[in-house]
Amino acid sequence: MANFLIEGENRIGGELPIHGAKNAALPILAAALLTRRSVLHNCPDLSDVRAAAHILEHLGCTVEREGDTVIVESDDGVYCDIPDGLMREMRSSVVFLGAILTRCGRARVSFPGGCELGPRPIDIHLASLERMGVNIKEDHGDLDCTIDGKMVGTELNLPFPSVGATENILLAAVLAEGTTVIHNAAREPEIQDLAGFLTAIGAKIHLKNDGTIVVEGVETLLPEVEYRVIPDRIATATYLCAAAATGGELLVTKTEPEYLAAVLPMFEEMGCQVKTGPDLIYLKGPRRLRPVRMVRTMPYPGFPTDAQAPFMALSTLAQGTSVFVENIFESRYKHAAELMRMGARIKVEGRVAVVEGVPALHSAQVRCTDLRGGAALCIAALAAAGVSRVSDIAHIERGYERLEEHLSSLGAKITRE
């Protein structure tokens, strides 16, 4: 795997347009199976998006990219199986399950498997699909899903507002017989974007403010669609963290401040100046960061778990103690041990991490443990004295488009090795 060499103590500043949201693009690419031709603008060029394209191609679609536009054609016969190798290429491949079932009436996939964030069960996905009339047979890690006739709409109460499960249910419900009601559905902007895409192809979806989603099954969907993917809120937060950690001044454009309503106040609490416009965010980092009293990760509209690691990197440099409580994933502090190699003081106890800020970090050899943890290491390395080597950056490339190019344009000294 490739590495980044980062020479720290250079301010991150300037202007940066944000790419489209990975977590919106992936389910929308799966949803492209439900129409003949999808033209998707603002579709980020990331390894996870390429993995989704490989799955679509394996299923019989053609996928072409022109700049940030991806065109998916799925007019011929579509296969209903995803082999294990492709399922493992991307953890969120399971979101293809609902789309394949709707398109083919059968789906054969393997379990997406555990991952660097701890076990990633799909019991809510499977139980919901079963309630909608899907027969699921499990055999040695493979899932064979079949339907007698059509999937049927029903009332579902999710035990947790799982993003992936909500997406799979939406994809299954749009052409199901009757109405599907999802109580305690996920409300992330990426869910709204998938619903927006499905609505654009003729689905009838009502997103209610209380977290309930009502889907009235329709008979057919439209054959063509042109759609624009929303901006990536986590990439936005990450670049803002890089500016804040280095005392820089950054204007992020083509983004959506509203999606970061739980995050921007944390920057202010840490002493950053933040201003927002309709599609932009300006941040100026202080000379020395203040600690953040408590970051509790929650389902949207709470503080996103994906921004926890970048904020932890920031808090290592604050004047005082910051506390993190990770409520979404069981094992999402692997970056802490790597940050400690750079001089950070962090104590992890189950779901809680206590970070005692230090005046400065020093360079070190650190290894990316996962996508957002890897981004956190880059932020720390940008602020640290000396040259750090960040290894296993393939994790980072799953979610950040041309990170080194963008950071270089903002004043960072970063090279790929």
Chain contacts with ligand UD1 (rule: CB under 6 A): 23, 26, 92, 120-125, 160, 162-165, 186, 190, 305-306, 328-329
Active site residue 61: no
Q: Which is nearer to ligand UD1, 236 or 246 (CB)?
A: 236
Residue 219 CB, nearest approach to ligand UD1 (Å): 29
222 exposed, middle or buried (CB, 10 Å; 0-12, 13-18, 19+)? middle
For ligand UD1, give the closer residue by CB, 124 or 376: 124
| CB distance 168 to 94 below 8 Å | yes
| Closest residue to bound ligand UD1 by CB | 164
Whole-angstrom distance, CA of residue 257 vs CA of residue 4: 29
Residue type for 356, please? E
Provide the residue type at 415 as one letter: T
Q: How far is the CB of 95 from ligand UD1 (least distance, A)?
A: 7
Considering the complex, what minimum distance in angstroms separates the CB of residue 90 from ligand UD1?
A: 8
What backbone phi and psi angles, to 5 degrees, belong to 108? -125, 115
Q: Is beta strand 345-349 parallel, antiparallel or unpaired with respect to 352-356?
A: antiparallel
* 146: phi then psi, degrees, rounded to nearest 5: -130, 160
**112 vs 165: CA distance, rounded Å:** 13
Instruction: Say how far apart CA 50 and CA 218 lie, in whole Å.
Output: 31
Which positions ≥6 away from 340 have C-beta within 8 Å? 346
Whether 379 contacts 238, CB under 8 Å:
yes
Instruction: Please list the alpha-helical segments (H only) found in 246-345.
Output: 264-269, 308-315, 334-341
Residue closer to ligand UD1 by CB (options 317, 328) is: 328
The answer to whether residues 306 and 234 touch, using CB atoms and an 8 Å cutoff, is yes
* Closer residue to ligand UD1 (CB): 161 or 291: 161
**Residue 252 Cβ, how far from ligand UD1 at the closest point, in Å?**
20
User: Given the complex with ligand UD1, which of 165 and 221 has the nearer CB atom?
Assistant: 165
Give the helix ranges, DSSP H, for 60-175: 84-89, 96-104, 123-131, 163-173
Q: In terms of CB distance, is 95 or 412 closer to ligand UD1?
A: 95
Question: Among all chains, which residue has been given the structure tokens 């050899």?
Answer: 365
43, 80, 104, 115: which is the annotated catalytic residue? Answer: 115
- Buried/exposed code over 181-202 (b: 16+ C-beta within 10 A; e: otherwise): bbebbbbbbbbbbbbbbbbbbb
User: Which lies closer to ligand UD1 via its Cβ, residue 110 or residue 162?
Assistant: 162
CA angle 38, 40, 45 (to 5 degrees): 130
Alpha-carbon span 268 to 274, nearest angstrom: 7
Catalytic residues: 115
